[in-house]
Structure 1
């Protein structure tokens, strides 16, 4: 697909085809300006809530204000965790190690080591970890920490897939914890060692029964003031309730973080400037948001913004475009870039037009600053380009990707390490990735009709329900769900207005990506598509005619009622002409 393949029948001002507008916007991108921005970002380590990070935020503010954007830089409270020095001793070994954000502080913590391999649920269930230290293969993650917590462990030693130790946040709590979520915070000390040192520990463990480890870990976890910058531009003559597109990325970093997330910030600035040249054609406004607390607060910035701007976002935000780690050296794979079902066609169009690749339809994952699903905002993109999969050490930066048929292997061996420096950026790839974002945002801002396809969403959801109905083997009738889907499909007009798309999104996006509560952020853990169906899945998985099945049926019926109610709300929004 090329830009010329875009519907040339759609015009922006009665004359100029949309394809021409996209081409002009992309041609305005300035690689030399992007390089200068990267050099500015490379000067500072930007830990959340630190003076150096705030200085870098002020650089962003100055750049955007100079373009003509209305900027607002605020400081808000966030629960931030900054790891300090760590030490590990196992027999006569003292391997170099790091600790992690939200791990528990420890001083002289001593306990028996238990090897749990890859750390699956089955691995944890097969051993007694009470008051012990788990030795686990792979990068530290909230999933593994959550399992260790539930297993009663008091420590974790993670073995990196290679020689590099990746900084990570291990909290499963999305955003700032409320009182009810404090118990979900990690209760274990956590360190990571290299693959070679992990092998030495395993060899020693095989030689000595009851081998113990001694762990020290400094972690500074407390409330801090963190910055958040928004920059907005509205079409001339726009009303106060004009819809807008949210374009966001985090600015805090591990170390200098020139790729993660300096390159993405350079992409944001370049696109923001290029799009202004077509502002006379905008049908919607653009709001950029730069978050802190992504790396050290488990998305505290975007979650806080969702909570404090809920009503405005619900009323006006048509889509969320997220950007992370663009333009890395060797990042040749764009096929895995994710989008929600209703924006999948736009993602494929933009990637194909600007890179020649096609996306296979990766589902949005519970990673990145995707804090707006409860509000009901459709989302497109997180990371864009990745290293090609070689089948070796692929877990280095794709730990959260699950078992999907991915073609890429994450963001590179330097990701979340001190080696994420400016030499890891390929300016040609950065321009390519930035063109994809420029393309998608031009479409979202300038198309007469939003490129949001809810027929595609209905197809995906109906397929999931049909598969589940087969698994149930008659134990629960899902016909009301199919009826709800058909009602929406029948009522959905071919050319929906912005107001109607917003109303339908508010009903269907929470059904797609949340456990059913629009106002609470679900845990930062891998989740099945359409979590609201999980109780019904549990019924399908339970043995028939057992007490387990009868208990499961109670939750399954309640989940069915919830899903049907959500679908009826979507249908009502169509019948009401899109009233919010």
Structure 2
């Protein structure tokens, strides 16, 4: 879109005033704390000032307060090292407990090959591959009794706050057992490298760890504001950033909150231009309870989201210093739209764009709401030098202060997000494009069929994919000639396709549940087929082979069901859009 008037209204001082106020008045926004409650009231008051319909919703989340830790190295030489307790751990006895320490690299499944960690504490290197909650889940599955997280970065003597809960959102009776029952602490990178070297030299490393944290239900606050548009379309855009944060939490996430409130302020002055409403929600339970707030919102507003939400934007860690390129992570159907927006708003900046995976409050993939998250980010070389610190070595540490925010970068980040949100709220035809998504899905399925066709019949899946790709493409081809009532029909169609295709391509859990946080199977080309490689190494007459093969066939049926629904939707909407001689609505032409 050419219209960019809103971007000129961003005020740097307004952004920084919010960042400074939140940091100074609400420095430790741990979910369930008085500080978090005060921060929530502040956000509500700001949205009320802008004329939004506001509500400070409360709910209970399974929470944890990490209180105290102490780590002593007993062997090969005695010394005490700095540490912090992780959240959602099994607390040790007050006098501490002793463990043999085993180094397991990145903590993925492959890192445990040939190792016996039963009853021991594992030393892992912190990264997002896999995220720490998944490292903890795997460690617990492997029989470990504890986990020690070596920080990323380089020689900075800092320790990141960590949570080990693994279960996404509040637990249920069926998944509470998946919360790792581990002792857990974080240590500096320097101390971790020393311990790693001893482990790799074959020395016996024994540690005494005291780690105290609770696990309890606590009430948290989640501000929600609704900016009503002009009423043209009965739909809405969901815009969110997480409120809870570790002290001082400037770039995670006072800057994201500032960006969200500034967008709220500006768009409230343009409400008559907005054909769709905008919901602004400040998630709680992001850091410790693993996306509890966004999951609660999905669970309690399922029907509303399913019927009326056209897109979700999560705003996190904007305005970070030393960042150089613009990074977009988006659902494939919105990726080209987001890239075009970035090219228009930030034409001078290098772009890095990729498909969005399920992480970081992306709680809407089961229901199938397409999503965009974006920010000015570090170069690949910078992140590699910092050993995977994608948000800066200071992320989740006491060093995440005001000096880590670049006000100019914060303005540029806010521009890009403001324009995307404005466009989604005003565009007549939703900018979803399934061409690349379906083509990539077919390519992945064809490759798996060639490799694993002897273990499972792929012919039905490939035929359904071919039909879905052709028929959806045919409907998309008439996009530009859809206006008025036909435009709404077209929008209903692409929303319905997104609801079906996202669940079977981006998640393993069903559409009403959540995968565990950072679940390893989600990194597979098609998550529901993540176990196919196991069939090659298992004996065909073994019980395990039979169980894996049976589940994989069931997963294929789930995909086929989604594809068949898409096929029938495409056939139906093609007929509806062709009524009265093509995509033009005669009533709208008169």
TM-score (norm 1): 0.88
Q: 1:100 aligns with which of 64, 75, 86?
A: 86
Which of 153, 178, 183 aligns to 2:177? It is: 183
Structure 2 CA distance for aligned equivalents of residues 491 and 347 of structure 1: 25
Q: Take 2:337 and 2:504, find their aligned partners in 1: how far apart are those partners?
A: 21
Q: CA deviation at 1:279?
A: 2.7
Consecutive unaligned residues of structure 2, counting only runs of 5 or more, are: 480-488, 577-590
Q: CA deviation at 1:543?
A: 6.6
- Alignment of 1:50 with 2:42, yes or no, is no
Aligned residue in 2 for 1:435: 415
Instruction: Measure, in 2, the Cα distance between the counterparts of 1:543 and 1:326.
Output: 47
- Give the superposition deviation at 1:565: 0.9
Alpha carbons of 1:56 and 1:88: their partners in 2 closer, same or farther (altered >3 Å)?
same
- Per mean C-alpha deviation after superposition, the further-off stretch among 125-134 and 172-181 is 125-134
1:218, CA displacement in angstroms? Answer: 1.3
For residue 562 of structure 1, what is the aligned residue in structure 2? 558
Residue 55 (structure 2) pairs with residue 75 (structure 1):
no
> How far off its partner does 1:471 sit?
1.5
- What displacement does 1:535 show? 4.4
- Give the secondary-structure state (helix, strand or coil) at the position aligned to 1:213: strand
Equivalent residue number for residue 151 of structure 1: 142
- Structure 2 matches for 1:409-428, cutoff 5 A? 410-428=390-408
Equivalent residue pairs, number: 544
Q: Are the equivalent residues in 2 in contact too, given 1:167–1:417 (CA < 8 A)?
A: yes
Q: Return closer, same or farther for 1:518/1:473 CA change in 2, 3 Å cut-off.
A: closer
Worse-matched range after superposition: 493-502 or 227-236: 493-502
Q: Which of 350, 361, 386 pairs up with 1:369?
A: 361
Q: Distance in 1 between the 2:553 and 2:293 partners?
A: 36
Change (3 A) 1:501 1:391: closer
**RMSD (Å), alpha carbons:** 2.4
SS in 2 for 1:459: helix
CA distance in 2, matches of 1:212, 1:411: 32
Secondary structure (helix, strand or coil) at the match of 2:56 reads strand
Partner of 2:439: 459
Structure 1 window deviating more from structure 2 (64-73 vs 565-574): it is 565-574
Give the 3-state SS of the residue equivalent to 1:79 in structure 2.
Answer: strand
Q: Residues 181-223 of structure 1, C-alpha deviation per residue, up to 9 Å, x if partnerless?
A: 1211121111121122224435666899544211111112210
SS at match of 2:321: coil
1:537 to 1:27, Cα distance in 2 relative to 1, 3 A: farther
CA displacement, residues 292-320 of structure 1 (integer Å, 9 cap, x when unaligned)? 10001111111111111111111111111
Q: Which residue of 1 aligns with 2:318?
A: 326
Deviations 1:67-123 (A, max 9, x none): 111111111000111211110011221001111111221131112222334434233
**Among candidates 126, 131, 136, match of residue 124 of structure 2:** 136
Q: Distance in 2 between matches of 1:156 and 1:173?
A: 17
1:266 positional shift: 0.8
Distance change (3 Å), C-alpha of 1:151 and 1:30: same
Deviations 1:128-186 (A, max 9, x none): 21111222333581122112101211122222233321111122110011112121112
Instruction: Give the Cα–Cα distance (whole angstroms) in 1 for the partners of residues 413 and 305 of structure 2.
Output: 27
Task: Tell me what 2:214 maps to.
Answer: 220
8 A contact 1:368–1:382 mirrored in 2: no
- For the Cα contact (< 8 Å) 1:323–1:384, is it kept in 2? no
Give the superposition deviation at 1:391. 6.3
Residues 546-574 of structure 1, C-alpha deviations (whole Å, 9 max, x = no match): 65666543333322222111101122233
CA distance in 2, matches of 1:575, 1:418: 56
Name structure 1 gaps, 5 residues minimum. 1-17, 398-409
Match of 2:484 in 1: none
Alignment-derived partner of residue 527 in structure 2: 531
Q: Distance in 1 between matches of 2:380 and 2:110?
A: 30
What residue in structure 2 maps to residue 251 of structure 1? 243
Aligned partner (choices 107, 127, 142) of residue 115 of structure 2 = 127
Larger mean Cα displacement after TM superposition, 470-479 or 371-380: 470-479
Give distance in 2, aligned partners of 1:246 and 1:185. 29
Mark the CA change 1:480 to 1:72 in structure 2 (over 3 Å): closer, same or farther: same
Residue number in structure 2 paired with 1:481: 461
